[in-house]
Amino acid sequence: MSLHPSSDFSSPSGEIARMPKSKLMAKLHMRWALLGVLLVAGTGAEETGTDVGLASAAAGRGLREAKPWRGTTVEHLHREYYTIFGAHGNRNAASHLWSSFVLDRARTMSLATFERMMAGFCAVSGSIVRPNGYNRYRLNLPTADGQPTTVRGYMHYCCWPCVCDTQDFIKADTLTLNTTDEPRQLWFAVLGDPCKNEAQLDVPFVQPFGHRMTTLKREAPAVVCEEGQGRRLQGATYSDHGHIIVSLLFDAETMGGEGSTGTGSGASALVGEAHTPTPGRLTQDASGKTFQDESEFLTMCATRAAQGYNSGMGEIFRKVAAITPIAAGAAVAHGRAADETNVSPKAAADLGVCDVDQ
């Protein structure tokens, strides 16, 4: 159970320990929401409360108008948690709301600030992330346009199972972004819109944690479809090919065809040599950037699938993403470049843990 968005709440004791769960959750939500408002006020941000949440959930494709916001760090973004997710505070499979909050305010940010903000959450779980080299993962994603192209880039995750879920469902698509710098076309991580088959949100399934029967409406209450015809995911921002943006694909470069056409600093040629997957091993590219390559998790992802996805977000994100999957036009090759070196590995037990909001 997650009692706090950053999953670092200390074990309660005394009176709190004897408090009924429902009452405890209500008190915690109220106190953290109030704390968030107070902290944001200290940063000079001009918007708090439900008006921002309503703006972020407005209908329409593309970006929405939002009040000025002067946040400059991921900590400022994290303080908007209850503004973005509301009083229930449940962010399961709802990273589209993180993304839209930042995208709606991009016109008042530099490109560097925008990229910094987009690294502050996990695209799969919706968890808060404090970006660093160890939670930076490199992936190769098929493009969402059906062409035989892949895009290689980086994403920040709360834990390794998010790599597996990304490989199975997330694709890459573009959107031209207006910041205080010149307009620029960027690559984003995208999903199909679950509201194209809204009835699936009510279909019962067994969550591997506790083996209890549940539904997506219960487990992912922030995944809500707009009213009216042509129902769409509430609060989502859509990419150039009409897919839901859940994260920026950092330092992205296209692969295949006649070479790299993106902005990434790593080598563009993947090597086919076999290597033993080593979860937790950091790789360093020619520019000095450290990351974990997705190929290190091939064995663990296969084992997780065989065990019924009993780690990470379990089935929640996977069920949402599988409602309207995006067809891939390219097979993805996994591997590392010839000029990349190993950094001291970390034990698999220390890879971090995602949790599920209850």
Give the chain's end-to-end CA distance (angstroms, integer).
Answer: 6
Note the pLDDT of residue 356: 62
Q: How do residues 234-281 score in pLDDT, each as one tens digit? A: 999 999 999 999 999 999 999 864 333 333 333 333 334 457 899 999
If one compares 11 and 341, the residue with the highest pLDDT of the two is 341
The reported pLDDT for the residue numbered 354 is 63
pLDDT (0 to 100) of residue 260: 35
Residues 6+ apart with CB under 8 A from 218: none
Structure token pair of residue 203: 């279909």
Confidence of residue 310 (pLDDT cuts 50, 70, 90): confident
**Of all helices (H) and strands (E), which one includes residue 139?**
strand 136-142
Query: Element (H or E) spanning 26, and its range?
Result: helix 21-43
pLDDT at residue number 328: 74
Which residues contact residue 303 at a Cβ distance below 8 angstroms, ignoring those fewer than 6 apart? none
Q: Is the pLDDT of residue 231 over 50?
A: yes
pLDDT of residue 106: 95
Q: What integer pLDDT is reported at residue 21 of this predicted model? A: 46
pLDDT of residue 358: 55
Please write the tens of the pLDDT for every residue from 54-108: 333 333 445 677 778 999 999 999 999 999 999 889 999 999 999 999 999 999 9
Higher pLDDT, 194 or 11: 194
Mean pLDDT in residue range 287-310: 94
SS3 content of the chain, % helix, strand, coil (to 5): 30, 20, 50
The tens digit of pLDDT for each residue in 11-39 reads 333 333 444 444 444 444 444 443 443 34
pLDDT tens, 123-181?
A: 999 999 999 999 999 999 999 998 889 999 999 999 999 999 999 999 999 999 999 99
- Give the rounded percent of residues in the chain with a pLDDT score beyond 70: 68
Which carries the bigger pLDDT value, residue 51 or residue 301? 301
Question: Hey, how many other C-beta atoms are within 10 angstroms of the C-beta on 342?
Answer: 12
What distance lies between CA 311 and its chain's CA centroid?
16
